Structure 1
Amino acid sequence: MATSFLGLPVLVKLRTGSQDSVQGILSSLDPASGTLTLTEARSSVGGVNRLEGIRVLGRAEVAGLELLSVQRGGEADTVPDRSTSSSTRTPNRPELALPQSQLQPASPVPSPSNHVLTERTPSGRGQRRRQGGNRSQTGTPSRTPQPPLAQNGIDEDFDFSAGLASFDKKAVFADIKSQDATDPALRLHAHNRNPSRTPQTKLLPTESVLSPQELYDQQQESQVIRENKQTKMVSMTPTDMHAGDLESRLAVDDSDDKRNERRWESVTGEIEKIALGDGPGTGEFRTKDGRNVPVVKPKQLSEALAIAESESTLTLPQRLESSAAALTSYILTRRLVTFPIRADSRPSVCILATESDRGYIALRAAATLVYRGCRVVVLTLPATEATLAIGELFKAALKAVGSAGARILSPSSACPTSGTERFYLEYTDLPTKAALVVDALASTSKETKQAIAWSNGLRSAAVLSLDVPTSSAPEAGSKFDVAPLIASAILAFGLPRPGLLQALARHPCPVSLADIGLPPSIWDRVGVEDYDVAMWGAETLLDIELSGSQ
């Protein structure tokens, strides 16, 4: 092995010249990088002798390698006469003499197989040092000479290709198999190759990993939790609800439900309704032919839209454009604006829009109405913090409808005296008469209250609300001093919202439903019950009515 030569003095011939060499103790040998390290190194390059201490030589620097002594720690003599062949030297100790057939010329590869094992006659200085005392004798103990290694054995230590070629994989696996007591029928390859086994069932992206019974149990558990919360809420006063104690009171005995934080939004809505003493309306929506139309809760709707967005079945731009097309079709087919339009009697259409989904949908429909000849006025109101998600889309739609020819108004440009309660009625650019008002507001600010008052003051205008009339079912946490907008028609997107029941209980009006292209399976996944895709038939706009109201 190569480690047998560590600690022995060697002479390394260099490629820089025929007389250049390095002499020292071989301390380490790295076959992977092809380097060897010499300690107590003395070099002779170009006739100049120099003591280097430690010298690292690479494979490319070495022209030949000779072993000077088999005694560890002993120093080799001076550089020998290059004219004398190492193969004709006679070692001082007969037992170290090698057969002539084993002497090989020096090789540039630092491999022990190419070392010429010869014993040099020590110089006079080396002899005097050995005779100087016991310390020198104990520091360099004699080493029993070993028989030379076979040439083939040494080569195999460094020939990785030969070792890889000699590896018999079949024999190794056969040996493992002979020692393995596992039943062959239980091994993995037997399981994979068994044609009679039940194939693996892969679920579609629209399928649930839970069984129908597990889904039912989960819904029942959620229902019990909601009933417990409602029971606790009944015993609370409005002061307690707005004092920050509500969440801490409801969280007692509800540690297992903390992972479902999104349920808090729907619970907060119930709290506000109970605080007002005006619970949600009752009844069910049905089509003209008697098919049931389920109501989608805000949490379910947000989950359905998130699933559609993540699975790319219905992205946000696609949903908004589909809803805008449905709104445009509804306005044109239901004759909310009289066509054909004459140049001397262009109908006025007013869009009340907030920076939200509904505001974007209304703006996209308004651009088409401008192209059809309508005089369109767009009133944009400040957005709340919860409606800033589509800010860039809303600004782009607002710019497009303005370029089409619509007049854009905002509270800052409508009237400098914003403290006036009826400043919209006093502003000359707002029409005193309008054929159609589209309610796409999504906030309950002071400006929204004034816009609602202006809309309710129009006598002959058709007022179309999107999803739910503004302020008829206020959002959780908002103030309730805003009078609801009175709509003459309502267009809901996808499925009706719970607030629509309350709005119709106050002011009944026709309700239509627009298909926005959401896959029916998503409604089932978010827990919407009794959804029947057959209710649409061949229509994308569906008239529905409230039955069983009290």
Structure 2
Amino acid sequence: MAADWLGSLVSINCGATLGVYQGEVSSVDQTSQTISLRQPFHNGIKCPVPEVTFSAMDIKELKILEIRNGSNGVSKRSLPDSSSSTGYNGRKDKGGGCGGNGHINSAPVTVPSKAEPRLQEGGMSPSQHYSKSYGERHVDIVSQNKGFRRRHNSWSSSSRGANQATPKKNGSKNGQMKNKDDECFGDGMDDVLDEDFDFEGNLALFDKAKVFSQIESSDRRGNGARSRGTPAEQTPSRYRHDENILEAKPVVYRQITVPQPGAKEYSTDSGLVVPSISYELHKRLLSVAESYGLSLERRLEMTGVCASQMALTLLGGPNRLTPKNVHQRPTVALLCGPHVQGAQGISCGRHLANHEVEVILFLPNFVKMLEAITSELTLFGKTSGKQVSSVKDLPDTPVDLVINCLDSHENTFLRDQPWYRAAADWANQNRAPVLSIDPPVNGQEQAVEAKWSLSLGLPLPLPERAGRVYLCDIGLPRQVFQEVGIKYHSPFGCKFVIPLHTA
């Protein structure tokens, strides 16, 4: 009778403490009431010992997964007196086992009885069993003579309980004893797959040209909705970070044309061409703008805002004008004359003073001044700015910025006045950079050498002494430009002040 069970695959449930074992029956001893399993699995993990022996007293339930001797089906039978706790005469061997005490050598391992001390409570409950399909999977592996393999999945990892003890392996590695990490985490690491996956061979099975040809043929059948080719046939276009990928037509860089081009042409940072205009065309442009309602007061306010914004940037912007830097407020000296350009400078000084900049306005005393200057001085007097009428009252030390509004487009006789020469000498001797607002072009050398110059609307052909030219948007509509024969598209984009480069 005992020989009929040899070779069968069984599943033995030893309770919550010892767990569940699976394996092939190697021997059944009716006298000592023991059964031995070859190539055992404990809780789904292959045991490091080749054979484990169980006593009938420790077996809670026994399931036969497959009977290999004389039967083709799967049946469930019990060992003789498997549930009896008497008649156990087996010897209790001490040593490391798979989930219990026993020998690790090739000799069969005897599982201790219930009376011996158990490991920590935990593990799988007695009601948990292995399904038929699970057993059949292990049978297939055994039938292929490749041995049991460790299952690398979440179930096998989670099925380990606190009761499972890692057996000690008495061995040496390179002549030295294995450390504790190898004893704790090294179990089963030697059980690797017999054959490595052939990535190169699998990749060689993919015919890239054939797949692309199939895609191309399917695109032809779809009325050419898409056009694809092999990577060798396609030449991808390369775009810069500032280029438009969906560009439909070429960019026209000359979007402004004037009836009488000036002596110079400028270009913006994006490459748009901005031609210069003569002073006569500039006067006609402002006259038409005033007839449409863009009065001098509006132009003064717009010019003052744009000039102050540029000046704030030159002074350091957010790096200089912060609440933590109130003890180092920038100082600006404004040099203005009795004309429209002087009124533009006063408007700029008012906005600078509103932004916590120390402004010193130089304007000589005149018996008769323009109404625009009078109104701008009234508004400037409401700020924290300081007004002086003598060059002696200007600072002796260098200031942060000098804004020059001394020159006029029409009145060139002012350069002969003593106050003009004294103010120009002070600006040239002061080591601060100079910003000129709306400098004139009258064929004479400018008295004050500027680092930057701000033109209004469209630039005038300024000389080299004017420094780098910037363009200010004073709000002239396109129809105003068309009225004087200028084809105009705004070159400002998202800004009101843009730099110009000499073409």
TM-score (norm: length of structure 2): 0.43
Compare CA radii of gyration and give the structure with the larger one.
2
TM-score (norm: length of structure 1): 0.39
